[in-house]
Structure 1
Amino acid sequence: MTYSYLSHLDCARCGRRYDADVVNNLCTCGSPLLARYDLDAVPTGPSDISGRQPSLWRYHEVLPVRDPSNAVSLGEGMTPLLPLGALGRDMGVPGLLMKDDGLIPSGSFKARGAAVGVSRAAELGVTGIAMPSNGNAGAAWALYGARAGIRTVVAMPVDAPSITGAECVVSGGSLYLVRGHIGDAGRMVADLIARSSGKLMDASTLKEPYRIEGKKTMMYEIAEQLGWRCPDVIVYPTGGGVGLIGIHKALREMLALGWLSGPMPRLVAVQSSGCAPVVRAFAAGAREAEAWTDPVTIAFGLTVPKPLGDFLILDALYDTGGTAVAVDDEETLAEQARCARLEGAFVCPEGAAAFRAVRSLRADGWISAADSVVVLNTGAGIKYPSTVSVDAPVFSPGDELPGL
């Protein structure tokens, strides 16, 4: 049986076709390449998938790794799709669901992209990768790189969550901290790769074609977990936006495969008011975003001044009748605390921003009380200890604790 029906790569902007079985980065026009599959030849249906291992590799026909022995895995995927009744009632959205990728290896959804991206890189003979990261992606690629025996070099802003840097270091990756934002780190990584004489592959966001393939499995899982149907709305915290692009790509693939029918869910891109290039572009009806000046937000993963795939993010929003929302840091932190108190779910700041966006969209009527709404929580809240101030009284042995 054919394990992967990968056919070729093509440019997301100009459509130029590329051989998928050699290492590729961007198109000659400077745009991302997307993996394409011979979907007409895929014999698999939803009933064939149900008995497979509970990981993202259950969708291997539409993933790019050709030999199953090359699939590098730490058990990623098939994270819970949880009903949030108390928080939903508080918002006026009874059909609120959370896709909780805080439970995935490395503590964030970035493990999806790392699992598939590292696996395909190793299959193509890559021995070293380099990338800029706001934290979680670098951590995930370093961990999966260690499992695959691939050297990993990560440059991240000095203010990135310290736990993500620790994940890089403990797994043997080379970590460099940069005084600046991810764009500054990206320029330094590009220079390093240019000087590496081919020893390092560029694994930056959308500069290799396979991270998105891991991220798209979020949508495959949501559809399967809902009985092969779509929710009305999917809300996604958007920095580089690979997950949102992947969700849209997965929807189009499942429609072509016949695994789904009916309207697509409305996609919502959520950003911070301190860095909202996609929100600004969407409000203007633009096809691309302009770079955001001086980006600052507590939701560190949203600090991307100009996503390389901005036109793909905006296409996904326009195609599905979606929207884009900016959330203040104060609102994000308040929603994070509210979610923990009402549901016992300590979500990451990026996920909290997405929940806050649902609250705003319900208040203005864009989301109705009858809508089923899936929010992507992209990481574990415990990876961001600085977002919560622990102000508790201290006692000594023998002291009497206050009564309830």
Structure 2
Amino acid sequence: MSYSYVSHLECPKCQEIYAESEIQQLCKCGAPLLVRYKLDEVKGTFNKEDLTSRENSLWRYHEVLPVKNEENVVTLGEGMTPFVHLKKLGENMNIPNLYIKDEGIIPTGSFKTRGASVGVSKAKEIGVKQLAMPTNGNAGAAWALYSARARIKATIVMPEDAPAITRKEVAVSGGDLYLVNGLISDAGKIVGKLVKENGIYDASTLKEPYRIEGKKTMGYEILEQLNWEIPDVILYPTGGGVGLIGIYKALLEMQELGWISSKKLPRLVAVQAEGCAPIVKAWEEGKTESEFWDNSETSAFGINVPKALGDFLVLEAIYKTNGCAVAVSETELSQAQVEVAKMEGNFICPEGAATFAAARTLREQNWIKETDKVICLNTGQGIKYPESVDLSNIPLLQPNDVITS
């Protein structure tokens, strides 16, 4: 039996076809490439009922993943992250059916692990020996660690103010870490020169086709964890937007496989910070592509992306599902992070907190209905962002002091 039913790579803009067995980056028109599968063949050999006896990792969906030979799979057991009903917070927000998909509980502590596992596995399969990428932190950490496991050299460039923990993850993995005095867009320019001059594999967001395949497994898992019941709303923190694009791709594949029968898809919501909201601006103006966001700034470092290569795919997913794009303030974001921890005991990352702030806003606007089943994606552990919590007001006791209340 085939481990994978990958067919080819396709450009979503000009429909040019490429072979998946060779190293491919962007289409000749400059757009990202998407992986296509022989879903008719998959349908005849793989049923969703088969999943009950499989391992709890994202590789349980290997028929719709691009790696052909199991021996090339680079895994740390990633996937099947917690899916939890947040009753107390949901009551507070007047969204009784509020759920979290917690991507912090995964190797390397963020959802970037999914893209790294599949992306590095396919890179290994097609003979990549060295890769390079710009990152705001978590992606570089994940790709460096998985590259170490695959014996692939990783060159990672990130802003100097990227979270310290992610910088240390790259360093401890043995990857080549470089810091730049600027944004991820500046890191991208440096990586671009390196790739062009040295012929290194470019693992930048959507410049290779396989990261999105790992991210799409979040969509498969959400539906499986809901026993194939389609939720009403999925909110996703959006920087490069690969996770949202991937979830939408998974939904379309599951429709074609006959795993979900309803033509109604979840309304997808791209959540950004007010200090960096190019997708929100484009959506509000009815555009199909975004403009570069000057002087971007937000404490939710992972979504500080001034211009996403796949912005047109993010906006398509929003439009096609009757979704929307929402920007939240830094105050709303910080408050949501505290609320989730105080009410539900979950210390989530600032990017994940943004989705809960957005859900509250959309409920107040009645865009989210009281009866809606709503899923917020937390994309990483809060402990990777220790600076996001203020401890300045914590009392300092002396050894003989007594606590009176």
Q: Please state which band the TM-score falls in when normalised by the shorter chain.
A: over 0.9
**Paired residue type of 1:337:** V
Post-superposition shift, 1:195? 1.8
How far apart are residue 395 of structure 1 and its match? 2.3
Q: Could you say which residue in structure 1 is the equivalent of 2:222? A: 222
Aligned length: 401
Alignment of 1:355-366 (within 5 A): 355-366=356-367
* Aligned residue in 2 for 1:234: 234
Misfit runs of 4+, over 6 Å: none
In structure 2, the partner of 1:192 is 194
2:7 & 2:381 partners in 1: Cα distance?
35
Check whether the contact 1:8–1:37 (CA below 8 A) recurs between aligned residues: yes
Match of 1:267 in 2: 268
Per-residue Cα deviation, 1:9-45 (whole angstroms, up to 9, x for no partner): 0002111000010010000000000000000001111
Shift of 1:400: 3.2
| 1:147 and 2:149 correspond | yes
Deviation at 1:228, TM superposition (A): 1.3
Give a deviation string over 1:289-331, Cα, whole Å, max 9, x none: 0110110000001111110000000000000000000001111
CA distance in 2, matches of 1:269, 1:139: 24
- Say if 2:145 is the partner of 1:138: no
For residue 228 of structure 2, give the secondary structure of its aligned residue in structure 1.
coil
Question: What is the CA deviation profile of residues 57-94 of structure 1, one whole-angstrom value per residue up to 9, with x for unaligned ones?
Answer: 00000000001111100110000110101111110000
1:272 touches 1:326 (CA, 8 Å); kept in 2?
Answer: yes
Partner amino acid for 1:273? E
Matched with 2:74 is 72
* Counterpart for residue 291 of structure 2: 290
Match for 1:163: what amino acid? I
Separation in 2, partners of 1:12, 1:276:
24
Distance 1:378 1:228 in 2: 22
Task: Name 2:7's counterpart in structure 1.
Answer: 7
Contact 1:229–1:261 (CA under 8 A) maintained in structure 2:
no
Counterpart residue number, 1:244: 244
Any idea what the Cα deviations from partners look like across 1:240-292, whole Å, max 9, x if unmatched? 00000000000000000001121110000000000000000000000100110
Residue in 2 that maps onto 1:201? 201
Matched with 1:314 is 315
Unaligned runs of 5+ in 2: none
SS of the residue corresponding to residue 374 of structure 1 reads: strand
What is aligned with 2:41? 41
CA positional deviation for 1:214: 0.1
Name 2:28's counterpart in structure 1. Answer: 28
Mapped to 1, the partners of 2:241 and 2:279 lie a distance apart of 9
2:402 is aligned with 1:401: yes
What is the letter of the counterpart of residue 256 of structure 1? E
Unaligned runs of 5+ in 1: none
State the partner residue of 2:370: 369
After superposition, give the CA deviation of every residue in 1:78-133 in whole Å (9 maximum; x if it has no partner).
00110101111110000000000001111100000000000000010101000000
Secondary structure in 2 aligned to 1:50?
A: helix
Please tell me whether the aligned partners of residues 133 and 182 of structure 1 are also in contact (alpha carbons under 8 angstroms): yes
Q: Which amino acid is 1:268 matched to?
A: V
TM superposition score normalised by structure 1: 0.98
Counterpart Cα distance in 2 of 1:313 and 1:261: 24
Question: Deviation per CA, 1:353-389, whole angstroms, max 9, x where unpaired?
Answer: 0100000000000001100001000000010011101
Instruction: Give, in whole Å, the separation in 1 of the partners of 2:388 and 2:70.
Output: 40
Superposed CA RMSD: 0.7
Q: What is the aligned partner in structure 1 of residue 127 from structure 2?
A: 125
Q: What secondary structure is seen at the aligned counterpart in 1 of 2:128?
A: coil
Residues 87-102 of structure 1: matches in 2 within 5 Å? 87-102=89-104
